[in-house]
């Protein structure tokens, strides 16, 4: 009988500190968390999607034709953990009838913030700070003049950025800082709601 390559690869992450993120470039159709030491409070992000809970024994397979190319583990347990996971292709069958631990099935993030309204002038200023996790944002112009949103180079004079007319709202999802600016000599008011995705 000839040698046959395994349909999965096993990886181990040693002593991942509390709050730390371990990222890996990988390739496979499925991933399964096989073991861990420490509190069962590991989150996973596949292909730069938001982090979600990933209890031991959970098997995740992407839709047909899609592959996992990037995986990140985030430790939120309060102490260091060591974990092992398998990634590969094909189908895994498991006779287990129960799942240890708990799994949150609510995809809605728990953190919702409504910061104080921002006074926007004709100088570009940060209205949402950059974050390591993705944030879902909702902007509303509650002033009397148009507001432009963008990076530090946002410029109403050359239409650089996104224009938000008085009374208009705009949803956005980003990890980066968001700047706001009015046209020369004008001011307005920007209300913001944000949801942390991690």
44 contacts 127 by C-beta, under 8 angstroms: no
65 or 128: whose pLDDT is higher?
Answer: 128
Residues 18 and 81 in one domain: yes
Q: What share of the chain is helix, strand, coil (3-state, %, to 5)?
A: 0, 50, 50
In terms of average pLDDT, the best of 64-68, 92-96, 116-120 is 116-120
Average pLDDT of the segment spanning 49-74: 81
Which domain does 126 fall in, by range?
A: 112-196
Residue 93 forms part of a structural domain: no
Instruction: Examine the domain organization and report whether 128 and 67 are in the same domain.
Output: no
What average pLDDT does the structure give for the chain? 82
According to DSSP, the residues that pair with 155 across neighbouring strands are 160
Clarify whether residues 116 and 154 are in a common domain. Answer: yes
- At 103-145, the pLDDT tens digits run 555 555 557 788 899 999 999 999 999 888 788 899 999 999 9
Q: What is the domain count for the chain?
A: 2
- The SS3 assignment for 157 reads helix
Q: pLDDT tier at 5 (50, 70, 90 boundaries)?
A: very low
Confidence of residue 148 (pLDDT cuts 50, 70, 90): very high
pTM: 0.48
Integer angstrom CA distances of residue 161 from 64, 169, 181: 37, 15, 9
The pLDDT score that the predictor gives to residue 19 is 84
Question: What is the DSSP-derived secondary structure letter of residue 160?
Answer: B
Whether 46 and 118 map to the same domain: the answer is: no
Q: Return the CA Rg of the chain.
A: 22
In angstroms, the CA 145 to CA 122 distance is 11
In a domain, 105, yes or no: no
């Amino acid at each position: 009988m000839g040698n046959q390559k395994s349909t999965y690869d096993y990886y181990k992450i040693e002593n991942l500190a509390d709050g730390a993120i371990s990222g890996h470039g990988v390739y496979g159709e499925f991933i399964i968390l096989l073991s861990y030491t420490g509190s069962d409070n590991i989150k996973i992000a596949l292909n730069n999607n938001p982090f979600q809970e990933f209890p031991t024994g959970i098997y995740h397979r992407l839709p047909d034709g899609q592959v996992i190319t990037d995986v990140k583990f985030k430790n939120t347990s309060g102490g260091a953990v060591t974990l092992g996971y398998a990634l590969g292709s094909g189908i895994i069958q498991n006779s287990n009838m129960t799942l240890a631990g708990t799994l949150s099935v609510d995809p809605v993030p728990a953190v919702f913030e409504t910061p104080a309204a921002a006074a926007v002038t004709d100088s570009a200023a940060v209205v949402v700070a950059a974050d390591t996790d993705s944030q879902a944002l909702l902007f509303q112009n509650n002033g009397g003049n148009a507001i432009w949103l963008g990076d530090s180079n946002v410029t109403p004079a050359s239409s650089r950025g996104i224009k938000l007319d008085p009374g208009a709202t705009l949803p956005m999802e980003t990890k980066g800082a968001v700047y706001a600016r009015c046209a020369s000599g004008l001011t307005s008011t920007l209300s913001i709601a944000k949801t942390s995705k991690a």
